[in-house]
Amino acid sequence: MLKSLNIRVLVIGLLCTSPAYVKTLEYYTEKPSYIESCRINEPDFTNCSTRSIQGFLNAVIEGIPEIEESFGPIDPMKQDQLSFNQENSDIVSISANITDLVISGFGKMVINYFRVSKKDFSWQDHIYIPKMRIDGNYKMLGRVLIIPLHGSGTLFIEIDELNIFMNATTRIYEKGGYTFFSAIAVSVKLYVGRVWTYMDNLFNGHSKDVERSTNEFFNENWREFYEALHPLIVETVERTLFDLLKKMFNLMPANFFVEDIPNSLALYGLKTRLIV
């Protein structure tokens, strides 16, 4: 896909004597056709940026080799491990570790809006995913509602109608004469339509009947159970979006997307200028 485009490989060799001093950066130096250029000082900016980011995202989902190399495929995507502890509520007290995660659904992301702040160029977005699913191996110890849990096995969590409201703190910086976005932090608020779960081997296989009825109970009382899983799902979504956006905007100059973006000197002044 990138073959027809002009990607510059910038080699910064300080002394060029040792490979340790050579850093390779790759990014677009020509705007790909799927990126719509917008101007933040025009009234239709948010509609334009929403279309532009959706276009970029669609290209990434279809497969941009530079992103796939460092991120892997978007859908399904793999993640190593998640740990969580939730001990501060009457409903739930769990310690859980999930490994070998496979996350599906991000390939169907719909950007409902992508706002960029004129003041600090941070982002506020609404993303919709029709169905997100997490598969993994879990180890869990604790209690949900009145049920003691102690087991390890496979689990899935499936979420219908996932609405993600995301705030991202960003910094802008220059490289090779272009201005780039760097995502610094991402926080999300989630709204879900319905959540389905199944945990296999919930009581270390001691009773298949109790395992089945407990899983049924969690699905009948899914709102409460979702509350218990909430920190884990938030972390999964935040981590995924953070990594993805970081990779995307490392590759694409912000100028292609926001034509009238200031450079970091104009935005931050001399003292706080970010040097990369």
165 is an interface residue for ligand NAG by CB under 6 A:
yes
Q: In this structure, how many other beta carbons lie within 10 angstroms of the beta carbon of residue 220?
A: 10
252 is an interface residue for ligand NAG by CB under 6 A:
no
**Least CB distance from residue 74 to ligand NAG, whole Å?**
22
Taking each helix axis from N to C end, the angle separating 45-63 and 222-251, rounded to the nearest 10 degrees, works out to 90
How many residues make up the chain in this entry?
Answer: 276
Interacting residue with ligand NAG among 167, 169, 219, 263 (CB under 6 A): 167
Using alpha carbons, select from 5, 3, 1 the residue that is nearest to residue 253.
5
**Least CB distance from residue 48 to ligand NAG, whole Å?**
9
Cβ proximity to ligand NAG: between 67 and 233 the closer is: 233
Token pair for 34: 């799927």
Cβ proximity to ligand NAG: between 26 and 203 the closer is: 203
188 is an interface residue for ligand NAG by CB under 6 A:
yes
How many residues line the site for ligand NAG (CB under 6 A)? 17
**Least CB distance from residue 22 to ligand NAG, whole Å?**
37
Cβ proximity to ligand NAG: between 103 and 140 the closer is: 140
Cβ proximity to ligand NAG: between 166 and 195 the closer is: 166
141 is an interface residue for ligand NAG by CB under 6 A:
yes
Interacting residue with ligand NAG among 30, 44, 62, 68 (CB under 6 A): 44
- Contacts (CB under 6 A) with ligand NAG, residues 83-122: 83, 95-97
126 is an interface residue for ligand NAG by CB under 6 A:
no
Residues lying near ligand NAG in the complex (CB under 6 A): 43-44, 47, 83, 95-97, 124, 139-141, 165-167, 187-189
